[in-house]
């Protein structure tokens, strides 16, 4: 299965169902009143973290997710059926970003717990049936509301694997070999650069109840944070780890080992300085080679806490795994990201704005005005009358006169054109 850790999708809630115009028709009710039912609520789009998925490959070809619309109301004051919410499963560890019009990304949530959910597109409410518009003066309303439009957004999903301990190091340091020896994972292993082309996870079991998840992060070379090699694709996957094992090739000269160590630490610092604040266990690999044993003795006084292992013979591996496990227990889980605090937009004194278009038309905008237009049945004279009455109460008519609107001028609201009168 191909490893996919980023995806862009479009989500849309379901529109609300329309309210209807209907009348009571009982045999012994000669003057039956309005009885149009309300429309049902449109479904929400909800993302849910599930451990059954390990990558975002499900979103490689399917990128549009739309919830069902609510059903229209019925006669005898019966409301339409509300739509079911659309539940979209994503891997545990998925960050959800909303792409905004100004190219900003708003972090909506970090789905790091199985079963955790987040609503990413709200469905519209159902329109009211004509039963709601009866008054002492208007006893037989012949109009109803349309359903409310739903929300729609473009989202960017980013997967950061959930692992307790991460193995970092240059290519051919023996990271994949260590993972294969320490766990049941079977990564591809060979003696050439970038053998591992995607992160590999393995579960390390030290006893009946002692275990942790280990991840091999490939592609770290100089410049990895900026895109060299494969590192910029996979550095994000160690941001959740509590402990890092820095594996170095023990067969190389001491000066080169120290230079390699500095390279990896610099890449971690440039990607996320917080990574260097976590416990890092320095380890020399290939202890089965005589030159590696020499390097271990030579560098013990230079690199604090340095230990050596041989994944071939198993020497030092179990001690390293127990040291990593003890350190994991002592280290809190790092916070990868926190949802941004919502930006509060102060509502202006008047809930609408009017601008003069290039062709001389008056364009009325505003969330309340546009929602009212979307839910109005303009084919009904009574519905249009109600729309105009509400605009007048809001002060739209007064503002148009103040701006110089005269009989016959064009007024645009939410895509609809009207002649001013």
Q: Answer whether 274's CB lies under 8 Å from 334's CB.
A: yes
**Domains defined for the chain, CATH in brackets:** 6-159 (2.70.210.12), 165-330 (3.40.50.300), 353-419 (3.30.300.350)
pLDDT at residue 174 in the model: 82
Contact partners, residue 410, CB within 8 Å, separation at least 6: 359, 360, 361, 362, 417, 418, 419, 420
d(CA 293, CA 308): 8
pLDDT at residue 320 in the model: 94
d(CA 34, CA 188): 72
Give the pTM. Answer: 0.76
d(CA 222, CA 161): 23
Q: Answer whether 118's CB lies under 8 Å from 96's CB.
A: yes
pLDDT at residue 102 in the model: 79
Largest Cα–Cα distance of the chain, in whole Å? 105
Q: Extract the residue ranges of the chain whose pLDDT is less than 50.
A: 1-2, 189-197, 223-232, 346
d(CA 292, CA 306): 13
pLDDT at residue 329 in the model: 93
Contact partners, residue 227, CB within 8 Å, separation at least 6: none
Structure tokens at 15: 């529109």
Contact partners, residue 240, CB within 8 Å, separation at least 6: 93, 112, 160, 161, 162, 163, 333, 334, 336
pLDDT at residue 420 in the model: 87
Reference 95, options 157, 53, 48; nearest CA is 157
Torsion of CA 235, 237, 242, 248, to 10 degrees: -50
Q: Answer whether 77's CB lies under 8 Å from 23's CB.
A: no
The CA angle 397-400-404, to the nearest 5 degrees, is 140
pLDDT at residue 345 in the model: 54
Contact partners, residue 278, CB within 8 Å, separation at least 6: 241, 242, 243, 244, 331, 334
Q: How many Cα neighbours within 13 Å face the side chain of 374?
A: 18
Structure tokens at 249: 């090739």
pLDDT at residue 376 in the model: 92
């Amino acid at each position: 299965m191909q490893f996919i850790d980023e995806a862009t999708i479009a989500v849309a809630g379901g529109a609300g169902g329309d309210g209807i115009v209907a009348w009571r028709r009982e045999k012994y009710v000669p003057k039956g009143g309005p009885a149009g039912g309300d429309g049902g609520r449109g479904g929400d789009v909800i993302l849910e973290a599930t451990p059954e998925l390990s990558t975002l490959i499900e979103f490689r070809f399917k990128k549009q997710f739309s919830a069902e619309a609510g059903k229209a109301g019925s006669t005898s004051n019966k409301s339409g059926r509300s739509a079911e919410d659309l539940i979209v499963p994503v891997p545990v560890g998925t960050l959800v970003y909303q792409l905004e019009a100004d190219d900003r990304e708003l972090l909506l949530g970090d789905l790091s717990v199985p079963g955790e959910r987040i609503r990413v597109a709200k469905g519209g409410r159902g329109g009211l049936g004509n039963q709601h518009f009866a008054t002492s003066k208007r006893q037989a309303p012949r109009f109803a509301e349309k359903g409310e439009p739903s929300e729609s957004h473009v989202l960017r999903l980013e997967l950061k694997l959930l692992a307790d301990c991460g193995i970092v190091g240059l290519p051919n340091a023996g990271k994949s070999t260590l993972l294969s020896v320490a766990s049941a994972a079977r990564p591809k292993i060979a003696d050439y650069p970038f053998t591992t082309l995607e992160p590999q996870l393995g579960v390390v079991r030290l006893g009946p109840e002692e275990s942790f998840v280990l991840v091999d992060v490939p592609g770290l070379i100089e410049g990895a944070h900026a895109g060299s090699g494969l590192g910029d694709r996979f550095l994000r996957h160690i941001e959740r780890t509590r402990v890092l094992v820095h594996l170095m090739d023990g067969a190389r000269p001491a000066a080169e080992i120290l230079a390699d160590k500095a390279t990896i630490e610099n890449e971690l610092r440039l990607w996320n300085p917080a990574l260097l604040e976590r416990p890092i266990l320095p380890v020399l690999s290939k202890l089965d080679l005589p030159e590696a044993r020499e390097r271990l003795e030579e560098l013990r006084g230079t690199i604090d806490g340095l230990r050596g292992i041989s994944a071939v013979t198993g020497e030092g591996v179990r001690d390293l795994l127990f040291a990593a496990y003890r350190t994991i227990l002592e280290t809190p889980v790092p916070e990868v990201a926190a949802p941004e605090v919502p930006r509060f937009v102060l509502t202006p004194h008047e809930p609408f704005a009017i601008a003069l278009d290039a062709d001389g038309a008056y364009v009325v905008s505003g969330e309340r005005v546009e929602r009212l237009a979307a839910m109005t049945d303009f084919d009904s004279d009574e519905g249009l009358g109600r729309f105009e009455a509400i605009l007048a109460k809001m002060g739209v008519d007064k503002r148009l006169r103040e701006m110089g609107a005269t009989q016959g001028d064009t007024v645009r609201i939410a895509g609809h054109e009207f002649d001013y009168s």
